[in-house]
Amino acid sequence: MRAAPTILHLDMDAFYASAEQASKPSLRGKAVIVGGLGPRGVVATASYEARVFGVHSAMPMAQARRLAPHAAYLVPRFGFYREISEQVMGLLRALSPLVEPLSLDEAFVDLEAGGTAWDEESARLTGVKLRADIRAVTGLTGSVGLAASKMVAKIASEQAKPDGLVLIRPGTERALLGPMSVRTLPGVGPATGDHLRRAGITTVDEIAEAGEDELVRLLGKAHGHALYAMALAHDERPVVAERETKSVSVEDTYDIDIHDRLRVGLEVQRLADRCVRRLREAGLSGRTIVLKVRRYDFSTLTRSETLRGPTDDLAVVREAAARLLESVDTTGGVRLLGVGVSGLADYTQEDLFAQAHLAAGEAAAEQHPEGETANEPAEEEPAPPTGHVWRAGQDVRHAEYGHGWVQGSGLGRVTVRFETPDSEPGRVRTFRTDDLRLEPADPLPLVARRPEAAGPPAAQSGAPA
């Protein structure tokens, strides 16, 4: 490991919920929960005010509503979050060419590679300035961990939450980790944690004391060796600027189980369309088509088909997904469907569609004796109902009242609060859902963009701004 704490880990604080609070003045300081709002929805992010009630990410939304019935419940606005994430990642890339994003709101940065930090003091100053720049550019807060390794930097950022900075001096890692729970270490989930607890191992110190041979006996060779090394604070993993994409996939969970076989087939085709769109946006193609089906009893089936070469052809992916569906029994109902493509490449095999079409033609004719094929055009899918579907948290604009967001809708009515990120908490008004003066709108920036602020502020070590 390096001699200076020049690996930085940034984790934005309750990112989705904080973005919603910054966007909606009436929600600041209130419990906000973002996620799927249907009966089977789960919590994506809960604000710190909501966490007081025991709400946390990945919790079923129904349980969250029981714990915090008066919280604001909003659907995610991923396009909005991506825009903010791009601003934050731009600040990180100004620090170093080695930035490893883990998600929209989390990344590692090798400060030494960028020449922005070389010792404890310069690392701390860089972290302080980064946090100030993030607040200035996005209006949000992030927590920063600084250490000599990725594992310890991530643990440090967790200790820094919310809105803080923690620096772990090289050489003090084992003393820091020793009393911590085994669950602190990467890769130790509930099952591994319970297995270790039954063996009398609950802290990181006890992992080190148990010894490598005992860990291998308990957990297997690969996991045992890795966990022992982490308990000794050994982590030589470099910050990797580009993480290889192994697959592209999309999936949907349905509020009500789908029993109609035709509807299941149409949903698979729709998912194939979205998956191919993502492939093309990324400039990728793939050889293996994967279908995922979670049935009414929570059993999950995965089927795959490998083609002769990589493709991004919609017809090929649709036909392959349809063939895979034929091997799955869906009579009891389906609660989740997914389509993915793996075996990725940055080129396509131009004649693959013809090859795949010829290979599948006979089977398709047998499956659809009246001439209908699995490659029906998208226009044949049932059209969505006319009029807008207003979702809680959605941005809207009214011809008279201006910009606002949907608080709720039902029984032919939609309730809107009219406010902007830089306004006072706004008034609430109710309209008919088909009111022609009300229309969907794009999110407003959290921080007004000044003409002179064409790019991110210079992010270099030095006195904090």
Q: How many residues does the chain have?
A: 465
H/E stretch holding 287:
strand 285-295
User: For the sheet containing 106-110, what is the strand order?
Assistant: 99-103, 106-110, 7-12, 142-147, 165-167
With the CA atoms of 161, 162, 167 and 172 taken in that order, what torsion angle do they form, in degrees rounded to the nearest 10?
-30
240/267 Cα distance (integer angstroms): 37
DSSP string spanning 381-447?
Answer: SPPPPSS----TT-EEEETTTEEEEEEEEETTEEEEEE--TTS---EEEEEETT-TTEEE-PPPPSS
106, 173, 267, 319: which is the annotated catalytic residue? Answer: 106
Between helix 78-93 and helix 120-138 the angle, nearest 10°, is 150
Listed residue (150, 125, 130) closest to 141, CA to CA: 130
The SS3 of residue 59 is coil
Decide: residue 328, CB within 10 A, 0-12 exposed, 13-18 middle, 19+ buried. Answer: middle
Cβ proximity of 134 and 142 under 8 Å: yes
Token pair 């909005």 in the structure block, residue: 80
46 phi, psi to nearest 5 deg = -120, 140
- The question of whether 106 is a catalytic residue gets the answer yes
60/227 Cα distance (integer angstroms): 31
Cβ proximity of 318 and 374 under 8 Å: yes
Distances (CA, A) of 147 to 4, 377, 416: 7, 54, 46
Q: Which amino acid is at 114?
A: G
Question: Which residues participate in catalysis according to the annotation?
Answer: 106
